[in-house]
């Protein structure tokens, strides 16, 4: 009988420590669950694209008599625009003493309502004429 009384006394003496540990664990759980991290997506920032490779994009038409036809066009995949207001200018062969491929790229028009007139090649009077692209 004496041993059962000792067991009850030991359980009762240990109980406040168990209750304090359980309360601390419960409090830590509540804090962990209610203070969760808030993850916000990074803001989208539109930056102007890098300048196109090759010659400058012209603002008015220009013609050059060339001594050879341009090579076959290179087909390109059009990617996503870097931001609102950008237009795709397709790649084309440019003449600068020889044919050089200007890759397609996105560009902002120089003014509202501007349209890109692509480079083209014509034969006039038996001569080959290259007319570079320009904004109109």
Tokens linked to 129: 């004429």
- The answer to whether residue 22 is domain-embedded is no
Q: Quick one: which of 10, 81, 88 has its CA closest to 44?
A: 81
Q: Which residues have C-beta within 8 Å of that of residue 123, sequence separation ≥ 6?
A: 129
The number of folded domains in the chain is: 1
- Cα separation of 53 and 48, whole Å? 15
Name the residue range of residue 68's domain: 63-135
Instruction: Give 58's DSSP letter.
Output: B
- The answer to whether residue 102 is domain-embedded is yes
- The answer to whether residue 73 is domain-embedded is yes
- The answer to whether residue 88 is domain-embedded is yes
The mean pLDDT value for 109-117 works out to 92
- The answer to whether residue 27 is domain-embedded is no
- Please give the pLDDT value at position 101: 93
Whether the model clears a pTM of 0.95, i.e. scores above it, the answer is: no
- The answer to whether residue 5 is domain-embedded is no
Handedness of CA 99, 58, 107, 123 (dihedral sign): negative
- The answer to whether residue 112 is domain-embedded is yes
Q: Which residues have C-beta within 8 Å of that of residue 79, sequence separation ≥ 6?
A: none
- Is residue 88 within 8 A of residue 81, CB to CB? The reply is yes
Band of the pLDDT at 4, cuts 50, 70, 90? low
- The answer to whether residue 76 is domain-embedded is yes
What confidence tens digit (pLDDT) does each residue in 61-106 have? 678 888 888 899 899 999 899 999 999 999 999 888 889 999 999 9
- Cα separation of 21 and 134, whole Å? 77
Q: Which residues have C-beta within 8 Å of that of residue 55, sequence separation ≥ 6?
A: 94, 96, 100, 102, 132
């Amino acid at each position: 009988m004496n041993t059962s009384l000792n067991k009850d006394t030991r359980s009762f003496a240990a109980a406040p420590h168990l209750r304090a540990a359980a309360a601390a664990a419960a409090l830590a759980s509540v804090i962990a669950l209610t203070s969760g991290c808030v993850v916000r997506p990074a803001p989208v920032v539109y930056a102007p694209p890098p300048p196109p490779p090759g010659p400058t994009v012209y603002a008015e038409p220009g013609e050059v008599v060339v001594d050879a036809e341009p090579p076959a066009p290179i087909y390109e995949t059009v990617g996503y625009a870097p931001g609102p207001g950008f237009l795709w200018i397709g790649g084309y062969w440019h003449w600068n003493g020889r044919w050089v491929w200007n890759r397609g790229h996105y560009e902002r028009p120089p003014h509202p309502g501007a349209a890109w007139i692509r480079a083209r090649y014509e034969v006039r009077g038996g001569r080959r004429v290259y007319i570079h692209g320009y904004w109109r």
